[in-house]
Each structure stands twice: as C-alpha cells, then as structure tokens.
Amino acid sequence: MNLLRKLVLPLFAVIFYSSGVSGRNVANYQVIPLPQEIVQNQQPEFTLNKKTRIVYTPGNELLKKNAEFLAEYIKSTVGLKLKVQAGKENANSIILSTGLNSQNKEAYTITVSKENGIRISGASEAGTFYGVQTIRKSLPSCACTSVAFPAGSINDQPRFSYRGMMLDVCRHFMTVEEVKTFIDMMALHNQNMLHWHLTEDQGWRIEIKKYPRLTEIGSVRSETVIGHNSGKYDGVPHKGFYTQEQIRDVVAYAQQRYITIIPEIDMPGHMVAALTAYPNLGCTGGPYEVRKTWGVAEDVLCLGKESTFEFVEGVLSEVLELFPSKFIHIGGDEAPRVRWAACPQCQARIKAEGLQAKDGHSAEDRLQSYFTTRVEKYLNGKGRRLIGWDEILEGGLAPDATVMSWRGVKGGIKAAQQNHDVVMSPNSHAYFDHYQSKDTKNEPDAIGGFLPVDVVYSYEPVPEELTADQKKHVLGAQANIWTEYIPNFKQVQYMAMPRVAAMSEVQWTQPEKKNYERFLTRLPRLIDIYEALNYNYAKHLFNVPTMAPANK
C-alpha cells in the first residue's frame, strides 16, 4: 500500500481497491474519464497473464504502435511483459482492430470474455487508442502474475471533438522532454488538442529560419521580476527555444498519441520579444527589450506598415510547414490601442481602409479586425483555419474564425450566435494557473483566483442560452496553464493534476453520466498511475499537507 493509499483510506471506502475481497487482482472499468456505457455480465471472466498476447491487424502500423503502447502500460502498471504480434489471435489475446462502424472516429468498443479475449475495436486507430487507455486505466496497481477482467462490454465515444490543454512555454521555458511528458499526461486523460503557446512578450520560443533574430535575441530575457511585479529582479537570464527539428519531433510524438498540436503565434499584442529582435515591426521603432515583468504591454505590432504583414506571413509559412494542424492560433488577446492611435502609419491604414468607429467599437478595434481578417485569408488560402482568443470578436469577427472564449463565456456565446465555432476556456473554470487552495500561504505563488477540482468538474461547456443549432458550434473545452508564476515543469504538473482529471470528464463524458462524488471514488486509481509515472500532483483533495513543488 503506497503512502497516498494510507492517507486516503479514511476518506475513501474499500470499494476503491481494485483487488477483490478474495485478494485477486481484478480490473475495474470505472475509469477517468468515465466511459459512456459499461455493461458487465455474469459470463466467465478473462484472465490476463504472462502468456497473453497483444494482437493487431497485420499491416496496420498505427495499430501496432497502439499495441506497443498497451504492452508498455501493462509492463509499467503490473509488471507483466506481454508479446505484441500481427494476427494469430487465440482466446488468451487482447485484439486491437478498427472494425467499429461509427460516425465518431474516436469511438471504440471493448468486449471481454473468457472465450474471445479482450477485443478493442475503434472507429479508427484513434478510437482504438482510447480503448487502450481505458484498459490501461482499468488495471489494478500491483506486481501481479494475473489480472481478472470481468466479462462484459464498454461502448464509448467522446462528447466533444476538441479536448484541449494549453501550455505556455514562453513565460517559463519547458524542455522537449517536459513537453513530451505533458503530451503523455494529456493522452492519459483522453485529450487530443495541445495548444502550444510559443510566442510572448517575455520570450519567443520557435525557430523561424527567415527571421533568425527572433530566437537569437527574442528567446532571451535578461532577468525576471520577482513575484507580482515587485520591482525586484532575480538577475538570472531566462532563455530557451525549440529548433524546427525539435518541433517536428514533438509533433510526431503527439501524433502517435492522437494529439494535434495547435501552435499559437500571439499577435498583434504580446509581441515585445519579436519587436526587440526586429524593432521596425513596432509603431515607434523602439528600442524594445524582451519583457522582464508580467502583464499587458502597450507595444504591439504596427498594423500600418505593409512590412508587418510580410513578416507575419513569413513566420506563418514556416509554422505551417511544421504543424499539420487545421487550426492555427493567432492569439489576438490583450492588444492595447494606444500605439495605433498615435501612429501615422496605422492611422493612414485606418483611413485607407475606411475603418470607422461604430457600434461601440473604435477605429483601432476595427484595425485589429482588419489584421485578423487578412491573416485569416492567408491561412484559408493554405487550407487552414484561424482560431483566436475572444478579443478577435471586437471590431467584427473574421468570416471563418473560431473563437476561444477566455474572459468568461460571453465571447463564446456571442460567436456561436454568429454561427462561428467556439472552444470554451473560461477563466472561471479552466485557468489552471489559479490557486487550488484558499490556504495560499502554503501554496506555491500563483496568479490569484481559486479553482478547486469540484469547480472544474462542475463546468458545462454548452451554454443554455444557445439554440440547438448554435450549440453545435461548441467544439469543446480547454484548460490553460499560463506560466508567469510557474517556474518549472514539476509545478506545471502540480497545477495540472488532478484538475485535468476533472476537466477530462467535462470534455469526454456525457453530462448525465457525470457525478462528482463518484468521480472522487474513481480518482484514487488514476492517482496510482500518477504515482507510478512519478507525476507531481496536488493533494488537497486527500486532506494531506500540501507539498509544494521544489524549485529547479
């Protein structure tokens, strides 16, 4: 019995033990996120043992990879090293296939019986992968020679096609290995969209060959403010970026786990690192300095100069080469208007384009909308779709834009009412940089707020006020990890888990199946996996003293 189990024993009853009363090791299909349908029957169970084979459809390399993942998970959870093979199943097999007929390509079914083994059938290889995740999470945590799988079936598919996490690697850089671990964490929670926030005022983190100074200059800040813009600095340079080769490697790693990486190039605001590298991109021409403090900067891209658009397209053309994602995130948040209001070139653009203040939006609001629409046209021309934070609504939404609603849900509602797709990521329920406890003195410093697991769990992404047709525009939900106050990856994990477990049921499970009390009963077995993988997670739910992550 591990430490956590001892600690939570008084809190959670014995039913959470995966071993039955007889001391046998029994799989439990009550996993997180909860499958839509689990039916157990009284037929003889399937016994997994060292002779069990994991069998995939011959010639299907993706299924082979899924089979290898399952072998790896079983090895790390129960210690059994199973053989993976193409075809030649017998009754002691776990069989992976893609035979399921479903409109939802992420759907899967699992059937378990003594005569036919465990059959995981996906509507695509992605569906099979989620079936593999469910089997993996059903395993008891033990060093055991056999595991009994109760006979029955599981029918499952995600509620939403967009199940995201955002990771900010700009305020604090995370290594390739750490980003890969983040991807593994997402796969464990059946998430499929990694929104990778790659550019910021405080650091530009993606190599762009046409503009080498973006990383030579823009990826380094000389030091970082201590705490909440205290005026005191740590005196330590902070730097880091990903080469294009590293990015290709991370994209491929995510793809194997059915995760799409959506890159974010945040513009026209949050661009001070780029302005420092190329001061002509700004209205004043600088000089600029990669920011050492947090908050919103007044210096943004100059939208009057044609050269700004050449730069944006130059950057995006390389981004598109690296990321196959249909969605490309262009940020759009927190772009103050002061520089544009005072800039002769921006004002000339406003005049030339006939951008006028109306309906509560200034001419400068319309200037941002002009910019977004032009970028969207470029992306659409390359077969991609633009997604941006809800500020892109101001001054008029670009024709095909998808809106990520972060300042509450209002932006998402407004966009869906205009028949635009939306992803819900409200700061009320999805900002994992907020505190998890009211006892903030005993927590690592956070940006503020209070977002405990139950509040995340309670989130319903589809607003009531939308019509049935408008509701279809809600593609899903996303949680965001901004890292101003998160100096290292251990702390990213601490802020993510177990809140991401709650978010995963928001994203995957139909609302009528959700139940917070039962979620809590399922959680300890997921926590066992966190422990086995050496993930650093928050323990507030278990009434144990908070263990704040150590600094690097």
Smallest gap from Cβ 482 to ligand ACM, in A, equals: 6
**Angle at the Cα of 322 from the Cα atoms of 320 and 323, rounded to 5 degrees:** 70
d(CA 246, CA 329): 20
Smallest gap from Cβ 484 to ligand ACM, in A, equals: 11
Is there binding between residue 398 and Zn ion (CB under 5 A)?
A: no
Residue 389 binds which entry of ligand ACM, Zn ion, none, CB below 5-8 Å type-dependent: ligand ACM
Q: How many CA atoms lie within 13 A of 165 on its CB side?
A: 30
Q: Given the complex with ligand ACM, which of 389 and 519 has the nearer CB atom? A: 389
Using left for φ > 0, alpha for ψ between -120 and 50, and beta otherwise, residue 6 falls in: alpha
Smallest gap from Cβ 337 to ligand ACM, in A, equals: 16
The footprint of Zn ion on residues 193-252 (CB under 5 A) is: none
Residue 334 binds which entry of ligand ACM, Zn ion, none, CB below 5-8 Å type-dependent: ligand ACM
CA-nearest of 26, 179, 209 to 112 is 26
The footprint of ligand ACM on residues 380-419 (CB under 6 A) is: 389, 406
β-sheet bridge partners, residue 478: 164
Is there binding between residue 333 and ligand ACM (CB under 6 A)?
A: yes
Q: Given the complex with ligand ACM, which of 53 and 420 has the nearer CB atom? A: 420
CA-nearest of 163, 182, 321 to 244 is 321
Q: Which amino acid is at 441?
A: K
Residue 421: alpha-carbon gap to chain centroid: 18
Smallest gap from Cβ 274 to Zn ion, in A, equals: 14
- Three-state SS for 187? helix
- Three-state SS for 152? strand
β-sheet bridge partners, residue 155: 37, 109
Both tokens of 184, joined, read 């593994």
CA-nearest of 296, 288, 301 to 340 is 301
Question: Number of residues in contact with ligand ACM, rule: CB under 6 A?
Answer: 4
Choices 248-256, 281-289, 400-408, 481-489; region in contact with Zn ion by CB under 5 A: 281-289
Strand residues in 316-367 grouped as ranges (E): 327-329
Q: Given the complex with ligand ACM, which of 84 and 430 has the nearer CB atom? A: 430
Cβ neighbourhood burial of 325 (10 Å; 0-12, 13-18, 19+) = buried
Interhelix angle 125-138/176-188, rounded to 10 degrees, is: 80
Residue 261 binds which entry of ligand ACM, Zn ion, none, CB below 5-8 Å type-dependent: none
Q: Given the complex with ligand ACM, which of 108 and 389 has the nearer CB atom? A: 389
Q: Given the complex with ligand ACM, which of 129 and 389 has the nearer CB atom? A: 389
d(CA 44, CA 117): 11
Smallest gap from Cβ 389 to ligand ACM, in A, equals: 4
- The owner of tokens 């809106």 is 403
Instruction: Respond yes or no on whether the N-terminal peptide bond of residue 498 is cis (omega within 30° of 0).
Output: yes
Q: Given the complex with ligand ACM, which of 19 and 428 has the nearer CB atom? A: 428
Smallest gap from Cβ 318 to ligand ACM, in A, equals: 24
Both tokens of 205, joined, read 């983190």
Among 244, 345, 515, 521, contact with Zn ion (rule: CB under 5 A): 345
Are 379 and 386 in contact by the 8 Å Cβ rule? The answer is yes
Residue 333 binds which entry of Zn ion, ligand ACM, none, CB below 5-8 Å type-dependent: ligand ACM
Residue 345 binds which entry of Zn ion, ligand ACM, none, CB below 5-8 Å type-dependent: Zn ion
d(CA 92, CA 89): 8
Residue 304 binds which entry of Zn ion, ligand ACM, none, CB below 5-8 Å type-dependent: Zn ion
Residue 207 binds which entry of Zn ion, ligand ACM, none, CB below 5-8 Å type-dependent: none
Residue 406 binds which entry of Zn ion, ligand ACM, none, CB below 5-8 Å type-dependent: ligand ACM
- Measured CA to CA in angstroms, residue 249 lies from 245, 316, 385 at distances of 6, 19, 23
Is there binding between residue 275 and Zn ion (CB under 5 A)?
A: no
Residue 254 binds which entry of ligand ACM, Zn ion, none, CB below 5-8 Å type-dependent: none
Smallest gap from Cβ 323 to ligand ACM, in A, equals: 20
What count of residues does the chain have?
A: 552
Q: Any idea what DSSP says for residue 293?
A: S
Is there binding between residue 433 and ligand ACM (CB under 6 A)?
A: no
Among 117, 150, 304, 476, contact with Zn ion (rule: CB under 5 A): 304
Q: Report the residue number whose CB is nearest to ligand ACM.
A: 333
Residue 72 binds which entry of Zn ion, ligand ACM, none, CB below 5-8 Å type-dependent: none
Q: Which helix (H) or strand (E) holds 470?
A: helix 468-471
Both tokens of 191, joined, read 């998430």
d(CA 497, CA 459): 17
Choices 296-304, 323-331, 463-471, 498-506; region in contact with Zn ion by CB under 5 A: 296-304
d(CA 459, CA 455): 7
Smallest gap from Cβ 342 to Zn ion, in A, equals: 8
Q: Given the complex with ligand ACM, which of 258 and 389 has the nearer CB atom? A: 389
d(CA 177, CA 349): 44
d(CA 417, CA 381): 26
Smallest gap from Cβ 428 to ligand ACM, in A, equals: 12
Is there binding between residue 485 and ligand ACM (CB under 6 A)?
A: no
Residue 146 binds which entry of Zn ion, ligand ACM, none, CB below 5-8 Å type-dependent: none
Q: Given the complex with Zn ion, which of 179 and 302 has the nearer CB atom? A: 302
Smallest gap from Cβ 334 to ligand ACM, in A, equals: 5
Q: List residues near ligand ACM by CB under 6 A.
A: 333-334, 389, 406
Q: List residues near Zn ion by CB under 5 A.
A: 283, 302, 304, 343, 345-346
